[in-house]
Amino acid sequence: MTNLILLTLLLLTITLSLGGGLYETLVIYPNWKKDVHPSTLLAKLHSSGQMLAGTKFWPLVSPAQVLLSVANITMAYLHDGPARCVWLTAAVIIFISRVITFSYFIPVMLRYIMKPEHVEPNRLRSIVKWWVGLSPLRLLPEAAAWGLCIYAIAIMI
């Protein structure tokens, strides 16, 4: 029963992350990624909702996802049932996704995008272009992990 609860909690955080990521990609990013300039970027981040998501939503979802992925990796590794490989794969995908997020996306957002006044305009445009271009790609492995979690739950039930 503990295994099913942990896996379900991981699935919940993946669902939140996927929903938040899709919303950002489709609704929020288009409002601030164009005409990037240090003097206007902060205002665009505020008006688009990016600043609110970055301070209220992601600081709750991302750390929870890291902790749950580690717990799920451990439990899946110790599990002897037929869902072991699928469950372990989903948990590892999420863990790797979070490592990438914490090592690139969050530092770049905090260091450059949320402090644009310290960055030369051309460099800022380049940083934002790369960040906004790469960020939606994180949804692909998360979607795969989401499907694997659903499959693992179906096998466990």
pLDDT averaged over every residue in the chain:
94
Q: Please give the share of the chain, as a percent, with pLDDT higher than 70.
A: 100
Question: What is the domain partition of the chain in residue ranges?
Answer: 2-156
CA distances from 109 to 39, 71, 156 (A): 16, 28, 39
Contacts of 49 (CB under 8 A, 6+ apart): 27, 28, 31
* Confidence band, pLDDT 50/70/90 cuts, at residue 140: very high
pLDDT tens-digit profile of 115-138?
A: 999 899 999 999 999 999 999 999
Output the six-digit token pair for 125. 């445009």
pLDDT digits (tens, 9 = 90+) for 67-117: 999 999 999 999 999 999 999 999 999 999 999 999 999 999 999 999 999
pLDDT above 90: percentage of residues in the chain: 76
